């Protein structure tokens, strides 16, 4: 425990495993500390991940065990049944638990030491520098010392929450920036399910995403395959409070669909859908993945961002270790690259997401009916890329939206605000200085 690690990573999800593997591959001593019994445990949902991310982030493609079936067709439908057929899907279904296991094995094979069943309690601070972590294991508290520490603990943010306020990493996530989700694959009673298909209750081999069914920001998705005898069901959104939780919503669906039987695998959890923190590093510390709120705010997808962030973070870590300098300036490149790149698109979608909150589910129906939200917009949201602004597309939207001018106006205003936010992120300070960061923060447009 007294050994001085080059890097200590807290949390072995996609972000933590990737960062640990990459830095260990560079020949450095890496300790990866995970709370669960084994990386991926308790997190066996399917994640839809951008196909291009594996090569972009330089991570292994999901092995056979971690792969899942791709839907043949995909529809997105509003609460009242207005639907848009999606273009070819830019995302790939991946079994999260199996993929995280695969990444954890990659980290171990690269030389990282993985400690499981251990909960990181917080950072060890020497003045303003993070020099290690404390963690509990079997009721005992231990300490590990490291040159650098990474918080990849996801929503708990076990380390970032206990850092100096002027690192801007210790923020709370408000309920309005939190998505509750549950996704399970279950067996079906094929005979009864066939009848349900004939009765128009459910579709076979067509993925359906229904938006705004519960709260304005909510999705109910399923993909049933009669031949395989399985159904994959996801519910998620800003739930709880005056809406049911994801678990309650899930049981309601089971109550309505008696042909759905026992769980094959699946879990639920909460996802932060805020824009990223104003900075992603402190002295001796990096934050990546859900812990840094690097999630696409309109649909709660964080896997691809976690992999991209871990890749960028690993480059900064290796440079800092080579240069034997561990403060914010030494780690800033990761921060700048993420914020001005992918972070800017995430921030764009954060503003759009905030706008969606102000809408009524009936508005979303109308926007889909009028083509104000089109298949190409949905496709871009999945990529993620900002909405296309080709003049023909806009003219078509205007023509169709003329009878729903207030919606068009709201959408256009949100679009302008989003652009402003994205541009601001793109101008994220290239080098760290107190002054540069303060002035960037002061210039942040409202969301």
Ligand X SMILES: Cc1cc2nc3c(=O)[nH]c(=O)nc-3n(C[C@H](O)[C@H](O)[C@H](O)COP(=O)(O)OP(=O)(O)OC[C@H]3O[C@@H](n4cnc5c(N)ncnc54)[C@H](O)[C@@H]3O)c2cc1C
240 binds ligand X (CB under 6 A): no
Pick the closer one to ligand X by CB: 48 or 177.
Answer: 48
What are the DSSP calls for 30-56, one per residue?
A: EEEE-SSSSTTTT---EEEEETTHHHH
* Lookup: tokens for 414: 């949100």
Interface pick for ligand X out of 24, 77, 120, 421 (rule CB under 6 A): 120
Interface pick for ligand X out of 7, 9, 14, 22 (rule CB under 6 A): 14
- Identify which of 335, 312, 323, 290 has the alpha carbon closest to the alpha carbon of residue 147: 323
Interface pick for ligand X out of 303, 316, 353, 418 (rule CB under 6 A): 303
Interface pick for ligand X out of 129, 178, 269, 375 (rule CB under 6 A): 269
To ligand X, the closest distance from the beta carbon of 114 in angstroms equals: 11
Interface pick for ligand X out of 132, 154, 282, 384 (rule CB under 6 A): 154
Pick the closer one to ligand X by CB: 33 or 57.
Answer: 33
Residues with Cβ within 8 Å of 381's Cβ and at least 6 positions away in sequence, in order, are: 296, 298, 299, 349
132 binds ligand X (CB under 6 A): no
Interface pick for ligand X out of 212, 281, 293, 306 (rule CB under 6 A): 306
The one segment of 13-21, 71-79, 208-216, 250-258 that binds ligand X by CB under 6 A: 13-21
Pick the closer one to ligand X by CB: 176 or 423.
Answer: 176
Interstrand relation of 74-77 and 83-85 (parallel, antiparallel or unpaired): antiparallel
Beta carbons of 155 and 174 less than 8 angstroms apart: no
Interstrand relation of 260-272 and 74-77 (parallel, antiparallel or unpaired): unpaired
Pick the closer one to ligand X by CB: 159 or 279.
Answer: 159
To ligand X, the closest distance from the beta carbon of 137 in angstroms equals: 10
Beta carbons of 216 and 151 less than 8 angstroms apart: no
Pick the closer one to ligand X by CB: 233 or 414.
Answer: 233
Distance CA 256, CA 389 (A): 42
Distance CA 221, CA 392 (A): 31
Site for ligand X in 317-336 (CB under 6 A): none
12 binds ligand X (CB under 6 A): yes
- Identify which of 278, 297, 273, 276 has the alpha carbon closest to the alpha carbon of residue 443: 278
Pick the closer one to ligand X by CB: 39 or 216.
Answer: 39
- Identify which of 122, 120, 116, 93 has the alpha carbon closest to the alpha carbon of residue 104: 116
304 binds ligand X (CB under 6 A): yes
352 binds ligand X (CB under 6 A): no
Distance CA 7, CA 368 (A): 48
- Identify which of 25, 11, 9, 12 has the alpha carbon closest to the alpha carbon of residue 315: 25
To ligand X, the closest distance from the beta carbon of 154 in angstroms equals: 2
Distance CA 344, CA 398 (A): 27
301 binds ligand X (CB under 6 A): yes
Stretch 88-117: interaction string toward ligand X, x if CB under 6 A: --------x---------------------
353 binds ligand X (CB under 6 A): no
To ligand X, the closest distance from the beta carbon of 291 in angstroms equals: 6
To ligand X, the closest distance from the beta carbon of 173 in angstroms equals: 13
To ligand X, the closest distance from the beta carbon of 288 in angstroms equals: 7
Pick the closer one to ligand X by CB: 32 or 372.
Answer: 32
Stretch 158-197: interaction string toward ligand X, x if CB under 6 A: x----------------------xxx--------------
Distance CA 242, CA 252 (A): 16
Beta carbons of 372 and 356 less than 8 angstroms apart: no
Beta carbons within 10 angstroms of residue 273's beta carbon: 27
Site for ligand X in 278-297 (CB under 6 A): 289-291, 295
Site for ligand X in 36-55 (CB under 6 A): 36, 39, 45, 47-49
Distance CA 104, CA 161 (A): 25
The per-residue b/e assignment along 76-94, b for 16 or more CB within 10 angstroms, e otherwise, is bbbbbebebebeebbbbbb
Q: What is the dihedral of CA 86, 92, 98, 104, to 10 degrees?
A: -130
Pick the closer one to ligand X by CB: 16 or 343.
Answer: 16
- Contacts to ligand X by CB under 6 A: 10-16, 33-36, 39, 45, 47-49, 96, 119-120, 152-154, 156, 158, 181-183, 268-269, 271, 289-291, 295, 300-304, 306
């Amino acid at each position: 425990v007294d050994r001085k690690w080059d890097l200590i990573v807290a949390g072995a999800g996609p972000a933590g495993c990737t960062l640990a593997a990459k830095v260990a591959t560079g020949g450095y001593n890496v300790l990866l500390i995970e709370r669960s019994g084994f990386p991926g445990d308790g997190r066996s949902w399917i994640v839809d991940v951008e196909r291009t991310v594996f090569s972009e982030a330089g991570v292994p493609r999901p092995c056979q065990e971690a792969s899942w079936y791709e839907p043949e067709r995909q529809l997105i439908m509003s609460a009242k049944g207005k639907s848009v057929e999606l273009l070819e899907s830019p995302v790939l279904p991946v079994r999260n638990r199996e993929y995280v296991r695969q990444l954890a094995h990659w980290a171990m094979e690269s030389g990282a030491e993985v400690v499981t069943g251990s909960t990181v309690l917080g950072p060890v601070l020497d003045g303003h520098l993070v020099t290690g972590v404390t963690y509990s294991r079997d009721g005992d508290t231990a300490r590990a010392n490291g040159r650098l520490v990474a918080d990849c603990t996801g929503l708990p943010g076990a380390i970032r929450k206990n850092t100096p306020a002027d690192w801007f990493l210790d923020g709370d996530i408000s309920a309005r920036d939190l998505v509750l989700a549950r996704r399970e694959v279950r067996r079906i009673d094929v005979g009864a399910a066939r009848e349900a298909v004939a009765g128009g209750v459910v579709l076979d081999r067509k993925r359906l995403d229904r938006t705004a069914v519960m709260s304005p920001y909510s999705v109910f998705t399923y993909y049933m395959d009669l031949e395989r005898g399985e159904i994959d069901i996801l519910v998620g959104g800003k739930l709880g409070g005056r809406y049911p939780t994801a678990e309650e919503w899930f049981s309601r669906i089971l109550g309505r669909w008696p042909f759905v039987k026992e769980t094959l695998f699946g879990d639920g959890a909460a996802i932060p859908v805020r824009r990223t923190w104003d900075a992603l590093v402190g002295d001796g510390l990096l934050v990546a993945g859900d812990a840094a709120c690097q999630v696409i705010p309109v649909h709660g997808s964080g896997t691809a961002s976690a992999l991209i962030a871990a890749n960028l973070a690993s480059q900064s870590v290796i440079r800092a270790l080579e240069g034997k300098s561990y403060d914010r300036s030494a780690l800033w490149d990761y921060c700048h690259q993420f914020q001005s790149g992918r972070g800017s698109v995430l921030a764009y979608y954060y503003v759009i997401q905030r706008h969606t909150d102000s809408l009524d589910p009936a508005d979303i129906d109308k926007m889909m009916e009028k083509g104000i939200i089109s298949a190409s917009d949905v496709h871009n949201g999945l990529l993620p890329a900002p909405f296309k602004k080709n003049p023909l597309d806009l003219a078509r939207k205007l023509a169709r939206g003329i009878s729903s001018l207030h919606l068009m106006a709201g959408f256009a205003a949100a679009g302008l605000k989003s652009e402003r936010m994205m541009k601001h992120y793109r101008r994220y300070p290239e080098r760290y200085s107190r002054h540069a960061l303060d002035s960037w923060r002061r210039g942040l447009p409202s969301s």
